Structure 1
Amino acid sequence: MTERPLLLLDVDGPLNPFRDPFAALRGYASHRMRPDVWLSYRDPESRRARRGLRVRLHPGHGARLLALPFDLAWATAWTHQANTLVAPRIGLPDDLPVIEWPELFARDPDGLFWKTRPLLDWAAGRPFAWVDDMITEEDRAWVAAHHPSPALLLRVHPRHGLRERDFTALSAWAAAVTGAGR
């Protein structure tokens, strides 16, 4: 196989370990941001909306992600704001493709995560690794049954964010899929 697999990235959880109060000790920088999806659930006059969302990002993650043998794309409710708010702070290009969700947080009739079906449609049969904090066993089973190419659904805990073992797993999976490891 010569085509590189896709790496579909979520922001909150994998890149922003929002449940880790000690992320700064692991090299994460704290930023205040006002993503549209977050603001849509807040009173615009509230103190919280004025202060913004605390987002913890690791400045080295961009280079690590770009070094992986994938074509990167955003799979996040941040949509295009991932390119303008997140990408420059971690060293990613500001023009990565973005999955356009038909409806954010839509309830799935079979209990799948709301991103699963649209993400599979967007991947259009290409091999992909999906990094998210909300992936379930039901999502894995559904993707295995409905996607014709290899897929890795990598659940990242929102207290830890991307860790060394995640980068190792992504690299090994991509090498196996592309045949680069042979």
Structure 2
Amino acid sequence: MSLSMYQASIPVFIRALNVLTTLLQKGAQHAKEQGLPPESLLEARLAPDMFNLVEQVQRASDTSKGSAERLSGVPAPRMPDTEKTFEELSQRVAKTVDYLESLDPARFEGSETRTVLLPVGGDTRLEFQGDDYLLSFGLPNFYFHVTTAYDILRHRGVQVGKRDFLGVIGKRLAVGA
């Protein structure tokens, strides 16, 4: 059986968004334990011209929703970028996961050859075939923002590592199984 566009996108997005939720929880806990104002993490960025943590989470949400919408044809919920707390960001991620979980895999059938037009400013749009869009833009862009959110937290002293970023992996087997 071949890998479907649904399998290559939706479970991948959901898994990484769940990791992002865990990272946000660890960030909030770190701020509390260290007596730091949460804004010191939420407004942190890796470089002056990069988005801060809040914006990285918003873009990860938007990229996963937008990719799913473009491939499935099912409108994604619109979310104004008004989050200012760890709790609000976690709620946004949860709403994004709810949308992704609501999608019927059948809606993705044939999406590998569907034309995807991506606005890039003004009247300019990039044109992709569905599979190329997902593999060369959707997933890389999504992981860029999730990874940058992780990097911001780690750079600011939150105790997260590779296992936190990878989340639950594989199936655990009992010794001797």
Question: Larger helix proportion, structure 1 or 2?
Answer: 2
Greater Cα radius of gyration, structure 1 or 2: 2
Whether the TM-score (by the shorter chain) exceeds 0.5 is no
TM-score band by shorter chain is under 0.3
Q: Of Structure 1 and Structure 2, which has the larger fraction of its residues in strand?
A: 1
